[in-house]
Amino acid sequence: MSLLSIFRRPDYTSETTQFIEQLKANKPTLEAEQRAGRALLWDKNLNRADQADYLDARVPQQAYVYGTASHPNGKQA
């Protein structure tokens, strides 16, 4: 028996963790639904050619975006 065992506190579970565990127990399909929603909105296959075209078409931004180096009308601000 080690001396540290008498000082060990019981495992703590926050109210939030208890709520989530209870929610998952009451609705076992929750995680699958979350994954389906994520796949619908976020998990997309990227077209590398389109992505490369997009990056090539970007215009470099000036160091100071409100600078007076050039104006769209050809006038100095």
Query: Can you spell out the DSSP letters for 17-77?
Result: HHHHHHHHHH-TTHHHHHHHHHHHHT-----HHHHHHHHHHPPPPPSSTT--S--TTS---
Domain count, the chain: 1
**Residues across the chain:** 77
- Residue 22 included in any domain: yes
Residue 27 lies in a domain: yes
At residue 64, the pLDDT reads 78
- The predicted-structure confidence for 24-55, as pLDDT tens digits, reads as follows 999 999 999 999 999 888 888 889 999 999 99
Q: Is residue 31 part of a domain?
A: yes
Q: Is the residue at 67 inside a domain?
A: no
Residue 19: domain span? 14-57
Supply the pLDDT for residue 25.
Answer: 96
